[in-house]
Amino acid sequence: MATITTNKTPIEILKEMKKDGTSIEFITINGQKVGMLGSVNDADRQAALKALNDAYVASNGDIWEMMTKLAICATMTENNIEPDECVKVHGVDVIIDYNKKKAYTMDGNEVANCDDMPTMPKEGIKALLIARAANHI
């Protein structure tokens, strides 16, 4: 079992044997199962523990907030989104990726882009993305 202990809560990977002789690994916080790992190598396992620990610290120990932050990060990674800034548009959190000149909702859906603007300063990209996102949301 691998363990990282934060100031308040241990985050662990718990290996359990199934009846058929195979094992399954669960992520636990305070002994409560919060997720399951698939077949991963040690480097990925340690990276998962670090991400959990970082998210736990960032959410001040609120497990639900932590899991939400991890889900958002996973969505951004899966969609190759590199969030640079988060802004509110009509009360909705919108992520801005300046390199791609695009804006996304937290679930990874594109709501605006400035592909038609070849050269523009960062402030201009931000203003245009917010205006275009406002029309979409």
Give the pLDDT confidence score for residue 97 in this predicted structure: 93
Q: What is the mean pLDDT of the chain?
A: 83
| Phi–psi pair at 32, nearest 5 degrees | -95, 125
Tens-place pLDDT, residues 96-127: 999 999 999 988 899 999 999 888 899 999 99
Q: What band does 137 get if pLDDT is binned at 50, 70 and 90?
A: confident
Tens-place pLDDT, residues 19-31: 888 888 888 887 8
Question: Whole-angstrom Cα distance, residue 87 to residue 43?
Answer: 34
Tens-place pLDDT, residues 40-50: 788 877 877 87
Is a pLDDT exceeding 60 seen at residue 76?
Answer: yes
Give the pLDDT confidence score for residue 6 in this predicted structure: 47
Give the pLDDT confidence score for residue 9 in this predicted structure: 57
Is a pLDDT exceeding 90 seen at residue 135?
Answer: yes
